[in-house]
Structure 1
Amino acid sequence: MDIRTTTLVWAPRILSVLRIVAALLFLEHGTQKILGFPGHPNPPVLLSLSGIAGLLELIGGALLLVGLFSRPVAFLLSGEMAFAYFIAHAPHSIFPVLNGGDAAILFCFVFLHIAVSGPGSLSIDAVRANGSMR
């Protein structure tokens, strides 16, 4: 196999792996805020800022995990992470390593990449578009 064939075959699969891993990590934040697992005994009021963020993380993370409505969901979550960074992290320090915002920045740009590139070949969106997983 040459590099072009390898890229054509593996790039959509690896994009799916990136989406799935990012969604699992993101979903964990939603389950912690909304369901109290793992280790968050006091869930926020659902219509508070933290509650809405938790719902976005829980529902959006689940949708991204299976690859359903991936582009609009990823775009929405990218915006949520940008908002979270500037509201919760940036006021503490200009440096992400000091303000704890590195994960928010990474999630923001990974989700932006998924919004632009799509969910990859291993997704419900791909099955809906092509009729099968390739």
Structure 2
Amino acid sequence: MTEALAAWTPRVLSILRIITGLLIIQHGMGKIIGWPVVAMYATVQPFSLVGAAGFIELIGGALLIVGLCTRPVAFILSGMMAFAYFIGHFPKGFHPLINGGTLAALYCFTCLYLSTAGAGPWSVDAATKRA
């Protein structure tokens, strides 16, 4: 059983990267292009802090999905999510469940992992031997 699961480890790394990219890009799309429609993103200004985060999420999410420059992109996204947690959530309370920062914390550490583990075999990085 362990050997069968171990054989899937690189592929599951690619799946984790793709799903993380899809989840992050939707935040950027909501903030920058207005789809999907999210009420709290309706007044986001492109040159605001939230707008800048939207551009990073949009571009970074797309790069994660295809697996291009995965390590530096994931590192930048990890830092941005840590920043989002400490600026937007931590002032509301210590516990992520209470301050609404669970998702930011999870994105932060998932991207930190991807920045060290790489893109996996199903990626542009692997196809171009950057992984």
Alignment of 1:74-93 (within 5 A): 74-93=74-93
> How large is the RMSD of aligned CA atoms in angstroms?
1.6
Q: Within 2, Cα distance between the matches of 1:6 and 1:108? A: 26
Correspondence for 2:14 among 13, 16, 20: 16
In structure 1, list runs of 5 or more residues that go unmatched.
Answer: none
Q: Within 1, Cα distance between the matches of 2:70 and 2:31? A: 22
Alignment of 1:108-119 (within 5 A): 108-119=108-119
Aligned residues: 128
Identity of aligned residues (%): 49
Q: Within 2, Cα distance between the matches of 1:14 and 1:24? A: 15
Q: Within 2, Cα distance between the matches of 1:111 and 1:86? A: 16
Q: Within 1, Cα distance between the matches of 2:82 and 2:12? A: 25
1:69-110 deviation line (CA, Å, top 9, x unaligned): 000000000000000000000000111011110000000000
In structure 2, list runs of 5 or more residues that go unmatched.
Answer: none
1:61 lines up with 2:61 in the alignment:
yes
In structure 2, the residue matched to 1:3 is: 2
Q: Which amino acid aligns with 1:3?
A: T
Partner SS, residue 38 of structure 1: coil
For residue 3 of structure 1, report the CA deviation from its aligned partner: 3.4
For residue 46 of structure 1, report the CA deviation from its aligned partner: 1.6
CA contact 1:29–1:54 (8 Å) conserved in 2: yes
1:72 lines up with 2:76 in the alignment:
no
Q: What TM-score, normalized by structure 2, do the two folds share?
A: 0.92
Q: Within 2, Cα distance between the matches of 1:13 and 1:51? A: 33
1:26 lines up with 2:24 in the alignment:
yes
In structure 2, the residue matched to 1:37 is: 35
1:3-51 deviation line (CA, Å, top 9, x unaligned): 34651x3111000011111110111100000011111363522221001
